[in-house]
Amino acid sequence: EIIALEINNDAMFYLKKSLELNKIPETKYNVILGDNRSTTPNNVADLVIMGYFGIDKKQLQNAIKSLNSNRESCLLMIHDIGNKNKESQVMIQFHQILDNDNIWELKSIKKHKIKSIGPGLEHWVFDCTLIKKKNDFS
């Protein structure tokens, strides 16, 4: 099942149209109009794609909370634009949030350069594999 959050009415219209054109049955998706800072469902996702730029702390926290805690591992894909010679500020914040998370820890990150978008700027995607933390009672 696909759960998509979209804040823009026009983008939501085209997202639904794309799903329809690709013959995805309506029973296989739920498109929610709203801001992912306040409308993200908890404990439902095996994969979260954060396919936009300017991700903030609340969005990262909600993405992590949306991961299905019944799974042993989940994937979080984070898009970012940054200076090619500096560490991603979004990823610094992501690590800080994960350090304080009670359920998930980082197993691996694969960084993919999508393209250069200006002098010294690049579009990246970080594929983050998260695994459940081992508790002291295991």
- Written as one string, the DSSP assignment of 42-80 is SS-BSEEEE-SS---HHHHHHHHHTB-TTSSEEEEEEEE
**Over 60: is that where the pLDDT of 39 sits?**
yes
| pLDDT at 137 exceeding the cut of 90 | no
46-105 confidence digits (pLDDT tens): 999 998 899 999 999 999 999 999 999 999 999 999 998 899 999 999 999 999 999 999
pTM beyond 0.85: yes
Residues contacting 86, CB < 8 A, separation 6+ = none
What is the arithmetic mean of pLDDT over 4-18? 94
- The secondary element (H helix, E strand) that includes residue 30 is strand 29-33
Q: Kindly report the average pLDDT of the chain as a whole number.
A: 93
Does residue 110 carry a pLDDT above 70? yes
11 pLDDT more than 70? yes
